[in-house]
């Protein structure tokens, strides 16, 4: 449980819940960020710069400065190929794309935008970069404009380098630093031309993201088996960038597929409210997915995606909405048994806060586990090289290799994972949730939950800098502690917090980047009461070392 549950969670949005789109767009152009306020400066989190125009955290000046910084970064890095750019369906995404286009054209950067002037899912942009870079020396990169599953008032702006995946902190720190310098200097260093001129510039072209992505899906999935099975599939884009893609996929591959809701509405008035009473397009949330869950019996498999389609939600008739950890475990078990073209040494990638049933499944497969910090960027090198077959996060984001072990995407792909659920069902005759129950029969049935605990800014900073020796506890909820980790075992990278493990349980604590709390992820294979004990002792352990 993430906080106090709203009594309206899972109920349809009302008019009072909807944003004023006109006011949001006016603020994008009119509000000048106060750079004395850290919250109004450019800052890249795990998935780009995010904010809202209404409080000065995502405005035209931010986007102009960030885009100019990206231009300067790619020039310094010797990136000479085209820059692919796409946007999702959030209201702030189109004006942000227009601002970025003015700056890119003003700098003479070759930029490719959607040929249909529609929406581009994050995985389609990653796929485009990888396809271009596979056999060219003029490497391409990209900008995807999306705040992912965030509320309708938010905007987001993310840079993907030639690897095709999320930029690492070395890149984003440089871009953010340079963007803030440009803001402080009144944007005098930004080269920009009017939008009308930019659209007609020789350096601006188009790319058919939809056709390139949809036509290539057969290289990663057995869609012939899905078509032959006749499975009735319900795909809900949740008003996001995948809306055109699902209809095209169904037609291209002859699938018995319904686009459950093809509506695009920048207010998202058709959504049910998330746990806190906000509109949030999170396909891993039973509250946000309540409409689709209520129709689960109408489909053999039903799926949802967030606004940029980098996350997935899997709904089965026998279990309803699957916990993301459960689906990752079932997907891993299936893929490594049904992809003979992958290397026998291809590792399984998971983040530090994903379920440890994945560890047990991986060991049973005879594979090596690559456990990394939170953030999909850590899977990028392995997916590029084929050394990692699958990389997944507990927050319902994952991707995997093509059938011949070439990279498909190096960013999260919710469409791919949603279609995989249909492949699993078609090929095996059992749903992913039935596969997961088979796994728990063999490896145990873990209980997993995330809770928040209050923390000051100073305490959060202390948590992020812990060393294993700071933890003196020897037991956790009655079991001997087997590891105290502040670095990921898979790559030695700092996790920005602490993870403590025992034979049958673990917890991880990480500071929130936006709130005065730290997050406690915990899991137990010994039931809910043991999990509660783990959570309680986890808070005591963390508080003792950061106070």
166-181: burial string, b at 16+ Cβ within 10 Å, e else: bbeeebbebbbebbbe
Does residue 449 sit in helix, strand or coil? strand
Catalytic residue among 53, 126, 148, 355: 148
Alpha helices in 168-242 (DSSP H): 169-184, 195-200, 209-214, 223-229
The CA-CA-CA angle for residues 138, 144, 150, to 5°, reads 160
DSSP H or E run through 232:
strand 232-236
Q: How far apart are CA 270 and CA 13, in angstroms?
A: 7
Does residue 531 sit in helix, strand or coil? helix
Q: How far apart are CA 285 and CA 278, in angstroms?
A: 12
Q: How far apart are CA 316 and CA 524, in angstroms?
A: 25
Alpha helices in 368-466 (DSSP H): 380-385, 414-428, 432-443, 457-464
* All residues at 6 or more sequence positions from 82 whose CB lies less than 8 Å from its CB, including other chains: 110, 111, 112, 132, 140, 205
> What DSSP character marks residue 464?
H
Cα torsion angle, 32, 241, 373, 284, sign = positive
Sheet of 517-524: strand order equals 447-454, 517-524, 505-511, 494-501, 483-487
Active site residue 15: no
Q: Are 529 and 535 in contact (CB under 8 A)?
A: no
* All residues at 6 or more sequence positions from 374 whose CB lies less than 8 Å from its CB, including other chains: 46, 351, 352, 353, 393, 495, 496, 510
**Which positions are annotated as active-site residues?**
148
């Amino acid at each position: 449980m993430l906080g106090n549950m709203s009594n309206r969670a899972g109920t349809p949005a009302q008019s009072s819940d909807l944003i004023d789109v006109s006011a949001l767009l006016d603020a994008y152009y009119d509000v000048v960020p106060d750079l004395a306020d850290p919250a109004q400066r450019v800052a890249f989190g795990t998935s780009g710069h995010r904010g809202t125009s209404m409080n000065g955290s995502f405005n035209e000046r931010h986007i102009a400065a960030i885009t100019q910084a990206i231009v300067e970064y790619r020039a310094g890095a010797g990136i000479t190929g085209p820059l692919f750019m796409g946007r999702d369906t959030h209201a702030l995404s189109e004006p942000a794309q227009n601002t970025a286009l003015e700056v890119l054209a003003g700098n003479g950067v070759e930029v490719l935008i959607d040929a249909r002037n529609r929406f581009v899912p994050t995985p389609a942009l990653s796929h485009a970069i990888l396809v271009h870079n596979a056999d060219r020396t003029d490497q391409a990169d990209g900008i995807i404009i999306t705040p992912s599953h965030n509320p309708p008032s938010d905007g987001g702006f993310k840079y993907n380098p030639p690897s095709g995946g999320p930029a690492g902190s070395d890149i984003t720190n440089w871009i953010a630093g340079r963007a803030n310098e440009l803001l402080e200097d009144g944007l005098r260093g930004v080269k920009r031309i009017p939008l009308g001129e930019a659209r007609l510039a020789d350096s601006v072209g188009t790319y058919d993201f939809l056709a390139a992505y949809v036509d290539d899906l057969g290289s990663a999935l057995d869609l012939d088996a899905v078509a032959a099975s006749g499975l009735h599939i319900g795909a809900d884009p949740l008003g996001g960038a995948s809306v055109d893609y699902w209809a095209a996929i169904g037609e291209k591959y002859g699938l018995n597929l319904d686009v459950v809701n093809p509506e695009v509405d920048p207010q998202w008035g058709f959504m049910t409210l998330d746990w806190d009473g906000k509109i949030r397009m999170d396909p891993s949330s039973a509250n946000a997915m309540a409409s689709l869950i209520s129709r689960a019996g109408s489909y053999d498999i039903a799926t949802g995606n967030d606004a940029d389609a980098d996350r997935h939600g899997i709904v089965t008739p026998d279990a309803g909405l699957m916990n993301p950890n459960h689906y990752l475990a079932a997907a891993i078990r299936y893929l490594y048994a049904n992809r003979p073209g992958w290397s026998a040494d291809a590792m399984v990638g998971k983040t530090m806060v994903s379920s440890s049933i994945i560890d047990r499944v991986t060991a049973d497969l005879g594979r090596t586990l690559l456990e990394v910090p939170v953030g999909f960027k850590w899977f990028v090198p392995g997916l590029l090289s084929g050394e990692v077959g699958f990389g997944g996060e507990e927050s319902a984001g994952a991707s995997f290799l093509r059938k011949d072990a070439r990279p498909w995407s190096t960013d999260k792909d919710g469409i791919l994972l949603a279609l995989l659920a249909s492949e699993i069902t078609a090929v095996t005759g059992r749903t992913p949730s039935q596969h997961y129950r088979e796994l728990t029969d063999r490896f145990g049935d873990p209980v997993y939950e995330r809770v928040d605990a209050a923390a000051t800014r100073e305490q959060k900073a202390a948590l992020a800098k812990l060393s294993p020796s700071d933890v003196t506890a020897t037991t956790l909820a009655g079991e001997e502690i087997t590891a105290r980790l502040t670095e990921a075992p898979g790559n030695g990278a700092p996790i920005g917090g602490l993870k403590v493990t025992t034979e049958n349980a673990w917890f991880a604590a990480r500071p929130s980047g936006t709130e005065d709390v730290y997050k406690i992820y915990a899991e137990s294979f010994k039931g809910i009461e043991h999990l509660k004990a783990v959570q309680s002792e986890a808070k005591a352990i963390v508080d003792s070392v950061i106070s």
